[in-house]
Amino acid sequence: MKEKLFLDTNVVIDLLGEREPFYVSAAKIATLADKGRIQIFVSALTYSTTYYLLARFENSEVIKEKIRKFKVIAETSDLTDKIIDKGLASRFSDFEDSLQYYCALKMDCNIIITRNGKDFKESEIPVLTPDEYLNSFRSN
């Protein structure tokens, strides 16, 4: 059975914004998904946040095209009232991270990939950086 990875927004921004030095690891994970070796998931919130942040530096149509291509390899978790309520009631210190977490749970993801692991201290799902995940993937 394929691993189901939930990508935090910062990893998607690294990928679509080609942010160094983080881009290469994010791209390797995207390639694994494109080859069908893993499944990747993001929350619906990730798309608007990614667009908003990258549009400050790139042409909006270019960003939309990057998002269209990314959507081919990623599945989206809807942001529902139930997830928002769980996030509001959670012990996460960052509300946005709580929404990401409950989206990952909804999609039955078994790993959260983020560069901000400290933000997911309340997670019952293993939390890895892109590099940590790639190192563990190679050893399997």
Q: pLDDT per position in the chain (140 positions), as tens?
A: 789 999 999 999 999 999 999 999 999 999 999 999 999 999 999 999 999 999 999 999 999 999 999 999 999 999 999 999 999 999 999 999 999 999 999 999 999 999 999 889 889 999 999 999 999 876 55
Give the C-alpha separation, 140 to 137, whole Å: 5
Give the C-alpha separation, 93 to 78, whole Å: 22
pLDDT of residue 137: 74
The SS3 call for residue 68 is: helix
Task: For the domain made up of 3-135, give the CATH fold.
Answer: Rossmann fold (3.40.50)
Q: What is the dihedral of CA 38, 44, 45, 48, to 10 degrees?
A: 100
Phi and psi, residue 80, nearest 5°: -100, 170
Tokens coding 73: 């390899």
